[in-house]
Amino acid sequence: MNTIRLAFTLCSVAALAVSCRPSEEKSTTAQIEKVKQETIEAAREMKNYTFAQKAEFVTKMEQQLAEINREMDQLSARVEKSSEAAKAEARPKLEALRAQVNDLKRKLDEAKNATESNWDSVKAGARKAYHELKDGFDTARQWLSDKIAP
C-alpha cells in the first residue's frame, strides 16, 4: 500500500510538471521539490518495520511523540497568553489532543510488549494513533494560527 501511495504521488508530481506553463516554472518547480521531499519523508516514515525492528519502531514513535509534546507545550503557552474567549474555545481542543497523546502512549506500550504473532496489528494500531494525533495537532495548530495572532 505504501508503494502504491508513493507511486501515485510521484505520478501526480510528474503530471503537474508536464502541465505547467513556463511563466509558472519557478513556483511550480518549488512546489514539485516540496512534494518530492514530502514523498521521500513519508516513505521513510512508513518504513515497514519487521518484528526484529520492534525497538527501532518504538524509539522512532517515541521521538515523534516527544516532538509533538514539545509543540503542544508551545501551543498551550500561546493559548494561555490569548483572550479568555480564545482560551475557553481552545481548552477542549487541547484536552482532546492530550487524550490522543495518551492513546498513542498506550499503543506504544502495546508495541513494546508485542509478540511476533500480533506485531502487525499492534504496529498498525500505533501508526493509526500517531497519524490521528498528528492530524488533530495540525488542525489545532491551524485553528490557533487563524484565531490568535502570533
Cα 26 to Cα 35: distance, rounded to the nearest angstrom: 14
The pLDDT value recorded for residue 81 is: 86
How far is Cα 130 from Cα 139, in angstroms, rounded to an integer?
Answer: 14
**Residue matched to cell numbers 521513510:** 44
37-90 pLDDT tens trace: 665 665 555 557 888 888 898 999 999 999 999 988 988 888 888 888 888 888
pTM value?
0.62
Q: What percent of the chain has pLDDT over 70?
A: 67
Residue ranges of alpha helices (H) inside the chain are 2-19, 25-45, 54-80, 84-112, 119-147
The three grid cell numbers given for residue 6, joined into one nine-digit string: 508513493
Topology at the third CATH level for domain 51-147: Four Helix Bundle (Hemerythrin (Met), subunit A) (1.20.120)
Average pLDDT over residues 5-9: 44
pLDDT at residue number 5: 47
pLDDT for the residue numbered 45: 56
